[in-house]
Amino acid sequence: APAAKIINGKLVAEQIREEVRVEVARMKDAIGVVPGLAVILVGSRRDSQTYVRNKKNACEAVGVKSYEVNLPEDCSEDEVIKHIETFNSDPSVHGILVQLPLPSHMNDENILNAVSIEKDVDGFHPLNIGRLAMQGRDPFFVPCTPKGCMELLHRYGVEIKGKRAVVIGRSNIVGMPAALLLQKANATVSIVHSKTKNPEEITRQADIVIAAVGVANLVRGSWIKPGAAIIDVGINTVDDPARPRGYRLVGDVCYEEASKVAGAITPVPGGVGPMTIAMLLSNTLESAKRIHKFE
């Protein structure tokens, strides 16, 4: 069997960053506006700190201004919301992002709902999700990771309209919005989750699979229809004594098996991973353009 085409997310993400950089410069030249992204980090989780630092660096590289607020683990919900409201009314901020997870004493819903819908570059507000689900409405922002999945399909010429698509996983931040996007693009979508009885059989019918589960190598070669396009969102660690850190990253799809059956597939790492931040930059630019009516 011919090997699957590798969908190079790293490369596409670089292209998108470069496109954003050019547009940011053009906007600055034309109207003197620089897109701004505010990131709120509560507590001192190592992984969250890393994510926030990566986002700041990515902003810097394309000319987006970043603003950061660090709040202590034990601060109050009201304090977080006060900072959000300051950013809501700050005209130099076009996107606001609250790094998840929040400390357990806080109510995610209250906090995320405080972000102005015009600056919700993560696209997690229920009003935004509702518009994503509805025909004839458009969301203000498409959530970054699912938007990245769609962008990969588009840039690799994968036809979506009229195709069967299976999304494995239905989380608010990846699986569910990915299913809604595929459906808006006129795929026939099925959603597989932990209560699904025959995931293998259903997945094998799909021309397009998006896997966002968090279970290493769940999707085996036998789950895949020959020639299907596979987008693997999963980022899982498995022990590997041969690596200096003692582990390596794998996706939700067994790459070794799947790449022999699929028509196209994203690797992990280097597939969807790098797309998320690229889409965050793209959403922030889009927001600044919309707010300043710049085309």
Catalytic residues: 55, 99, 122
171 is an interface residue for ligand NDP by CB under 6 A: yes
Instruction: List phi, psi (to 5°) of 258.
Output: -65, -35
> Tokens 């998320």 label which residue?
276
212 is an interface residue for ligand NDP by CB under 6 A: yes
Cβ pair 40, 83 in contact under 8 A: yes
In the complex with ligand NDP, which residue's Cβ is closer, 20 or 210? 210
128 is an interface residue for a second copy by CB under 8 A: yes
Torsion of CA 66, 72, 74, 80, to 10 degrees: -20
173 is an interface residue for ligand NDP by CB under 6 A: yes
61 is an interface residue for a second copy by CB under 8 A: no
Token pair, residue 10, equals: 């790293």
Question: Residue 230 carries which DSSP code?
Answer: E
Question: Which residues have C-beta within 8 Å of that of residue 215, sequence separation ≥ 6?
Answer: 234, 236, 252
Site residue total, ligand NDP (CB under 6 A): 26
Half-sphere exposure (Cβ direction) of 168: Cα atoms closer than 13 Å: 35
Torsion of CA 65, 268, 213, 199, to 10 degrees: 140
Q: 10 Å Cβ neighbour count for 219? A: 27
In the complex with ligand NDP, which residue's Cβ is closer, 49 or 116? 49
Q: Residue 129: which of a second copy, ligand NDP, none does it interact with, CB under 5 to 8 A by kind? A: a second copy
- Pick from 276, 282, 284, 287: which binds ligand NDP (CB under 6 A)? 276
In the complex with a second copy, which residue's Cβ is closer, 63 or 175? 175
**258 by DSSP, 3-state: which?**
helix
- Pick from 72, 101, 130, 246: which binds a second copy (CB under 8 A)? 130
Per-position DSSP letters for 203-216, written without gaps between them: HTT-SEEEE----T
Shortest spacing between CB 149 and a second copy, in angstroms: 17
Cβ pair 221, 257 in contact under 8 A: yes
129 is an interface residue for a second copy by CB under 8 A: yes
* Interacting span for ligand NDP (CB under 6 A) from 20-28, 66-74, 90-98, 227-235: 227-235
Residues that bind ligand NDP (CB under 6 A): 145, 168-171, 173-175, 192-196, 199, 212-215, 218, 233-236, 272-273, 276
Residues that bind a second copy (CB under 8 A): 109, 125-137, 161-162, 164, 170-172, 176, 180, 183, 186, 188-193, 195-197, 202
